[in-house]
Amino acid sequence: MFFDILWILAGLVMIIVGSDWLVDGASGIARKYGISEFVIGMTIVGIGTSMPELVASVISAIGGHGDMALGNVTGSNICNILLILGVTALISPVGYTRSNIRKDLPFAIAVSLFLLVVLYNGFGLFGGAPGISRVDALSLLLIFAIFMIDSFKSAKNGTDEDEASAAKPMPMGKAILFIVLGLAGLIFGGQFFVDHTVSIAERFHVSEAFISITLMAVGTSLPELATCVVAAMKGKNQLALGNVIGSNIFNISLIIGTSAAISPFEIQSISTVDMSMVMVSIILLWLAAFTFKRCKLDRIEGVIFLLAYIAYITYLSMNI
């Protein structure tokens, strides 16, 4: 167990350093090409910080542990919003653009709803055991492709409302190097953290579902947490928001789609409460644009998000 703890600490150091480099490199590219930090956060950073979830879920699917793959994504999406954006908002309130409210968040809600529909076979209309088939997987991968095409078209057309920074752009070679090194730190650091956290948990005979929704989900979400905290501290809140929205969409469309394409799975121990929390969390993020300080996820809402996450984890702990 001593060496497991050392590897967990090493993974955390790699995640922290990697997130700092990734934010700086991504911001450098955004400034150089006049692309908004939100779009960069939702695409490049979002995909990058979702790599640990992709690796963990695909490995789980190959090993025949579909429930762990689904639980990892479910827990990560809940963690991304309630825990990560909750912490981010406490550091620095996160502002919304009109595009976030009218397009980005509704799309994320639609993707989450689509997952529920295919997962439960049209809520029982089509019969069969709840799960993800290869046809469902291809539908999810198609959604991922559409999302990526639309995101880069929006960036190219300059439809996002953020203004380019007046700061001197980072040299392109340096920005790319920072992104590559940052992603490497996040991916390998996240994998070290997950592997050795799960190893410790298994010593205490904790169920796969609980491990995937809590320990594995939080572990694979550490890149998002570190990236969002660093972005908030540097005043780049749109990058943080884009990172979370992008990661949640990728987790559902790309990661579950890829995992189920490799090995279709049925729901076994992931409950309707867990899946419902995915919808509740993304809807709360959208509603936060209309409460307290309008068009802003402020500190009060950050506290509410954190309390909701603590309540959810407490519920899971009491029902292991």
pLDDT (tens digit, 9 = 90+) per residue, 241-263?
888 998 899 999 998 999 888 88
Instruction: Report which secondary-structure segment, H or E, holds 104.
Output: none
Between vectors from CA 155 to CA 281 and to CA 34, what angle results, nearest 5°?
115
Q: Whose CA is closest to 81, among 281, 237, 301?
A: 281
> Whole-number mean pLDDT of the chain?
80
What's the one-letter identity of residue 185? G
**Stretch 271-295: mean pLDDT, rounded?**
89
Domain residue ranges of the chain, discontinuous segments joined by +: 44-157+207-318
Q: Are 226 and 19 in contact (CB under 8 A)?
A: yes
pLDDT at residue 301 greater than cutoff 90: yes
**Stretch 145-167: mean pLDDT, rounded?**
63
User: Helix 66-78 and helix 272-287: axis angle, to 10°?
Assistant: 30
Q: How many CA atoms lie within 13 A of 194 on its CB side?
A: 31
Cα 204 to chain centroid distance, Å, stands at 28
Q: Are 230 and 92 in contact (CB under 8 A)?
A: no
CA distance 319 to 9: 29
Of the pLDDT bands very low, low, confident and very high (cuts 50, 70, 90), residue 165 is very low
Q: What are the residues facing 300 on neighbouring strands?
A: none
Tokens of 187: 């991916």
Tokens of 205: 């005979």
CA distance 316 to 204: 16
pLDDT given for residue 132 in this prediction: 86
pLDDT given for residue 163 in this prediction: 44
Q: What is the pLDDT of residues 168-210, one digit of tens each?
A: 667 888 888 988 888 888 778 767 776 776 677 677 666 656 6
CA distance 265 to 70: 9
Is the model's pTM score more than 0.85?
no
Of the pLDDT bands very low, low, confident and very high (cuts 50, 70, 90), residue 309 is very high
167 CB-near residues (< 8 Å, 6+ apart): 31
Q: Whose CA is closest to 48, among 215, 194, 242, 218?
A: 242
Q: Whose CA is closest to 191, among 59, 87, 1?
A: 59
- What's the burial of 230, exposed, middle or buried (CB within 10 Å: 0-12/13-18/19+)? buried
Q: What are the residues facing 265 on neighbouring strands?
A: 132
The percent of residues in the chain predicted with pLDDT above 70, rounded, is: 81
Q: How far apart are the first and last CA of the chain?
A: 23
Q: Are 29 and 179 in contact (CB under 8 A)?
A: yes
Angstrom CA distances, 106 to 110, 111, 272, stand at 6, 9, 22
pLDDT given for residue 162 in this prediction: 45
CA distance 210 to 215: 8
According to the CATH classification, is domain 44-157+207-318 in 2.30.30.90? no
